[in-house]
Structure formats: structure tokens, C-alpha cells
Structure 1
């Protein structure tokens, strides 16, 4: 689980505790003079901040969901087919990390009243994942990987997943530069950090495999 996901879950837990505390104190007299904003006003402001977004946030969430789905598809194949235990473990970690991020971004889009699928994909105008890997679509990548076995699979998976991660980092960098929603910008930073480390790991594994 990423730092962003943990932070989001912690915030939800804190909000629930605050709500119970406010309910228990609802019979108390309100402070006189209106010197500070009420709990309701503060909550409304926080909700407005969470809902604030621009077109860059929407595109980032929509495209990264699809991109993560492609990574999970590749990672699950690695769990099944990799001959190297470190490659198999990497596939497990990628799938475990990106699944919750998909759920988080889907929740944002629903909160914002935005579609969870890019319009271009609905009309068949975009490949799975929003970008090619070495000039191949997601379907072509999966077909190639499915035909390989042993160390040949391991090497090719690492090469293609490295390229896939670089695409995600490029998308996340655009989000950090152009996005408005603070949670989405924060997630972009987490993706950059996590996937940069995984690229280094994959490059080291490729050298070990020879």
C-alpha cells in the first residue's frame, strides 16, 4: 500500500471519529460571538477542496486507471509465468500496489461527476493504456509475453514493464505540473517515486539475467 493510500485511509478514520465526537456534543451550547467557523462550515470547506479539480486532474485519473490496468495485466502474467523468483515477486508487488490506486482514482472521478473511462476509449480511439510500449499496443505486448517462457519471458517482461513505468512517470509529471486537485497531485508524486525505484530494480534484474 502506498503512502498516499495510507494517508487517505487515515483521513477517513479521523473524519469518522470527528463525526462521532460532534454528534456526542450536539446538545452543547454553540459558542457565542461566531469567533470561529462552525464544524459544518469547516467540513464544507474541506469537501470543496477535495472536489476541486480541473481537466488535467480528470485526464490524469482516467488515463492512469487504464494504464494501471495494463500494468496489472502484465504483472499477473509474470506471477504465472516468470521463472525468476524476484521477477515473480515484482509482479505481485505491482499488482498489489496499483489495484488500490485504481480504486482511489475511480472514487475521485465519481465524486467529481466525471466518467471513469476516457471518451476516446469508449469510441475505440485509444489503445489500452493510453500509450504504446516500444511501438506496441497492450494487446500486442500481452500476445508477445504469452508466447515466451523461462528466462526469455523474464527479460522481456522487465524490458516492457520498464517502458510502461516510464510512460506512467511521464503522465504523473504532467499531472504535477498542471493538476489542481491536491490528492491527485500527491498521488502523481507517489507514482513517480515508486515507479522510479521499480525501474532501477528492473534494470538491475536485467543485468543479473544477462
Structure 2
């Protein structure tokens, strides 16, 4: 081979290596494509269930902080969801609960958030798996299992709709009662805590899990709508809604909310102003309240199997 050809061959070799590395990087980024979370996650009859794993791709140096942010979020939001379940179940079991819209809302919370707890458990299980570090020559990438997609189809999950803005909050023979106002105030405070946590994760530069990001979109959308409904119910109360007190023990699952900055400070009452304005630091229950019937307490998400309930429709 002439010296000229040798020079040309030596120039082509790095180019080929660079192209190969670029193809490998593209494949990795495709594997780690954004997850769909709850967007499009409902059951579609006639479609075979297929579950897949979504991945987060980043530098190895960023991995530890990202996994910690995800785990903190999952631990806090899971306990918070479990609290919403137990609050709703207590309300539905109370003979003084009256508002048809609030009862429908409580049923939707139990059904939908139980499924979301299963999604969070799957995220926790994926985060417990080791990441793969791939050396591309010009860069090193960590590929971390982040979530499981396709669970809505596998579990035959159909999302319960939330009563709309025109849904009647009372009916003849079923007026808004003091117990309804208590539930609406307590759940408004509780929902505001979830909104704070979701927004805090979105603003966290270490919060890179696209599955959790899309799940947060659903949480913010749904719970903002639900807060509006509950405020309408409070406004429809024939008595003095401001005089209806809410014991802090009625607000469950606020203890693990590390992202939103909520502690477990005790409070004996929650005022109407708290329910309308959002919540204050005093709007937390003094002790963890397990959601026994849902099978989920306020403990961190487990790493074992079996986090999903099957839904038959």
C-alpha cells in the first residue's frame, strides 16, 4: 500500500469509529425514550397486554443524585396516595356523608390512586436494579431502569372519571352536610400537598425520570379539577362553612412528603381559610395513618413483587 493510501485509511478509521459510537448512542437514547406514564395507560379491550421497561440515560456522575430524587419522590407520593385512600374510605363509610358529587369523587380517588400506587411501586422496583454503564469512547453513559409501561393494559385498568365542573354537589334529599365540608376541606389540603410535591419534583434538576414527570402531569391536572369541585361543595353548604373545623387526624399521609417540605407537625384544627387558600404547615396529621384496605401504609415503597391490584371491568 502506498503512503498516500495509508494516510487515507488512517483518516477513515477514526471516522468509522465515530459513526459507530454515534449509532450506539442513538440506540441507547432510543431505549431510554420518554415514558408515557398514565397518558394513554388505560385498558384497551382486545389488545394484548405487553409490559416494557423504560430507562433513564445520563452520565454516571449524575446517576446517584437522580436515583435519590426519584426514590424520595416515590416514598413521599406513595404514602400521600395511601393517605388519600384511607381518607376517602372513611368518608364513604360515614353515614353523615351526603353529597353525591363528593361520594363519586371519593370513589374515583380510591380506584385511581390505588392504581397509581402500583405504578409507584414498579418505579421503586426498577430503581432497585443496577444501572449499566456503557463506554462509547467519547463519553460514558449510565442506563438506569426507571419504570414499567403497559400496566394499565395488563391490569385492565379503566380510570374512574372525576365529576365535572357542572356536576351537582347536592340534590333533593342529599344536601351538603357538615361531614361533607370536613371531607372537602381536608382533601383540599391533602391535594394541595400533592401538587406541591409534583411541582417540586418537576423543578428539581435531579428529577429526570420521564415516567414520573408524565405521572405528575396527571396528578396536577386531576387534583386541580378535584380541588375546584370540593370548593364548590364547601360554598354550597347551607350553614357557616368557616365554623366547620377539621381535626388534623382527618388529613392522612403527609409525613413522607420530603419534596414538598412537609413535616409531621401536629395541629388540632384546620381552618376554612386553609382549605380555600391551599394549606399551611400546620395542616398535617400528627401520626401516620395506614390505608389498611388498600394494602398500603405510609412506609417506603417495597422492593418485592405484588404491588398491583387486578381490576376487572
Q: Quick check: TM above 0.5?
A: yes
Query: Is the 1:50–1:183 contact (alpha carbons within 8 Å) kept by the matching residues of 2?
Result: no
1:132-151 pair list within 5 angstroms: 151=177
- Superposed counterparts of 1:91-130, under 5 Å: 91-113=106-128
Over 3 Å counting, the alpha-carbon distance change for 1:180 and 1:152 in structure 2 is: same
Residues 169, 191 of structure 1: 8 Å contact kept: yes
1:76 pairs with 2:89: yes
Q: Which residue of 1 aligns with 2:272?
A: none
CA contact (8 A) 1:72 1:95 kept: yes
Structure with the bigger percentage of helix: 1
- Give the drift of 1:85: 1.7
Name the SS for the 1:209 alignment partner. Answer: coil
Contact persistence 2:89–2:106 (CA under 8 A):
yes
Asked if 2 retains the 8 angstrom alpha-carbon contact of 1:79 and 1:89, the reply is no
Take 1:83 and 1:15, find their aligned partners in 2: how far apart are those partners? 39
CA contact (8 A) 1:5 1:100 kept: no
**Residue 195 (1) aligns with residue 223 (2):** yes
How far the C-alpha of 1:104 sits from its partner, in A, is: 0.2
Task: Name the counterpart of 1:158.
Answer: 184
Structure 2: distance between partners of 1:88 and 1:15: 32
Q: What per-residue deviation string (whole Å, max 9, x for no partner) do you get for residues 171-200 of structure 1?
A: 000111121110011111211111011000
CA separation in 2, counterparts of 1:194 and 1:89?
Answer: 14
Gaps of 5+ in 2: 1-35, 130-175, 239-313
Q: Which runs of 4+ in 1 moved over 2 A?
A: 3-10, 13-17, 46-54
Q: Per-residue deviation at 1:109? A: 0.3
Question: How far apart in 2 are the matches of 1:67 and 1:101?
Answer: 11
**TM-score, with structure 1 as normaliser:** 0.61
Residue 136 of structure 2 corresponds to none
Unaligned runs of 5+ in 1: 18-42, 115-149
Q: Shift of the alpha carbon at 1:103?
A: 0.2
How much has 1:16 moved relative to structure 2? 3.6
SS of the residue corresponding to residue 180 of structure 1 reads: coil
CA-based RMSD of the aligned residues comes to 3.0
Q: Which has the higher strand share?
A: 2
Number of aligned residue pairs: 145
Alpha-carbon offset, residue 204 of structure 1: 0.6
Instruction: Give the structure 2 partner of residue 129 of structure 1.
Output: none
Change (3 A) 1:49 1:205: same
TM-score, normalised via structure 2 length: 0.42
